Every structure is written in structure tokens, then in C-alpha cells.
Structure 1
């Protein structure tokens, strides 16, 4: 009887692993957008934390103040990556809830 319970539990774990892998794969197609400077800089990233697009409003491009633009880009990228983390937590959290796994 114990062996049957163990086999059943293993099947459930394998099913959960498959579902998690499917959700992780879907994350690469889901997009989040980070912004900075009142949307002067926008950065799009996917759920795998890959930056896929950067948009800079031409009005904020000042050759005399490149440092400000660099700061805006950095802030927008970090904003997008935080949102990508939140997206992954939402999608994968249902599988890891209660397991106390690092990063979830």
C-alpha cells in the first residue's frame, strides 16, 4: 500500500514539473514594460528577463546631459525586470506555494 502512495505521489510531482515547464516556456512570450522619466524611456522585457525593446522619447535626448538619459534607461530596465519577476511569480507561484523554494 505504501508503494502505491509513493507511485501516485511521483506521478503528481512529474505532472507538476511538466506544468511548470510549460508555464516557464509561455513566459518568454509574455511582455512587461518598465518606464522612467514619465514614460520618456520605455523598456519592454519578456518573462525570461530578456530586454526586447527600448523606446526613447526624442525630446529627452540632450547631448549636453547624456548622464540623465543613461540614468533613465537604467531605471526603466530595472523597472521592467522587477515586473518580469512579478509576472514569473504570478505564473509559477501556484506550483511552488508552500514549498519555500528560493526565488519563488
Structure 2
């Protein structure tokens, strides 16, 4: 069949596409590393409970002010801890979207890029 291009793309076009894909993969990996190192601070109760995490929501530490530790009211402390974690998660989501959004959600594909 004359004029039928079985390869679809020429060699140079495919090579350029592969270079672009490799560059994007390197950018995604660099951004993932940045997110691992980005410190997020979630707070609750006027900073009576502070949760430290990275932008991937890995919790590194929790600080609790002694003034909110009441043996007769465990539920209040539990609520403050959850609120601080959720505050941190919201902040982490915002950072993640800001940094990874340019890749169209491809960063979470487990190394498929």
C-alpha cells in the first residue's frame, strides 16, 4: 500500500516524545522529593495541639499542651488531635495540588511515568 505510514510517527518524532516523557518523569520525581521534605503544621485549640507532617501526609510528630490534658475529658483531647490532623491534611492537600497539579495527577501513578 503506497503512502501508508505503518509506524505512525517518524523516528525523530518518537525520540522527541521519549525525551519529553523522560523530562516529565524527572520533574515528577524532583517534585515528589520536595513534597517529602515540605513541612506542614496542623493546629487546633489555639495551637494547644500541633501536628507536624510532610506534604504527603506522613505525620512526623505531635505536640500537646498540658493545659488540654484532662483525665476526665478524654474526648476533648481526641477531638483536638483529630482537628489538628485534619487541618494539616487540608494544608498538605493544597500544597500537593499546587505542586503536582501541573502534571495532571500523574505523580501518584506509582512510577508508571
- Normalising by the smaller structure, the TM-score range is 0.7 to 0.9
Deviation at 1:25, TM superposition (A): 1.2
Aligned match of 1:93: 101
In the alignment, what sits opposite 1:13?
21
Partner of 1:67: 75
Alignment of 1:1-104 (within 5 A): 2-96=10-104
Unaligned runs of 5+ residues in structure 2 are 1-8, 109-113
Q: TM-score, normalised by structure 1?
A: 0.84
RMSD of the TM alignment (CA)? 2.0
Cα deviation, residue 66, structure 1: 0.7
2-structure distance, mates of 1:17, 1:45: 25
CA distance in structure 1 between the aligned counterparts of 2:29 and 2:55, rounded to whole angstroms: 13
1:49-88 per-position Cα deviation (integer Å, ceiling 9, x unaligned): 1101111111111111011000110111111122112111
- The separation in 1 between residues aligned to 2:73 and 2:18, in whole angstroms, is 59
Deviation at 1:6, TM superposition (A): 2.2
Gaps of 5+ in 1: none
Query: Within 1, Cα distance between the matches of 2:93 and 2:39?
Result: 11
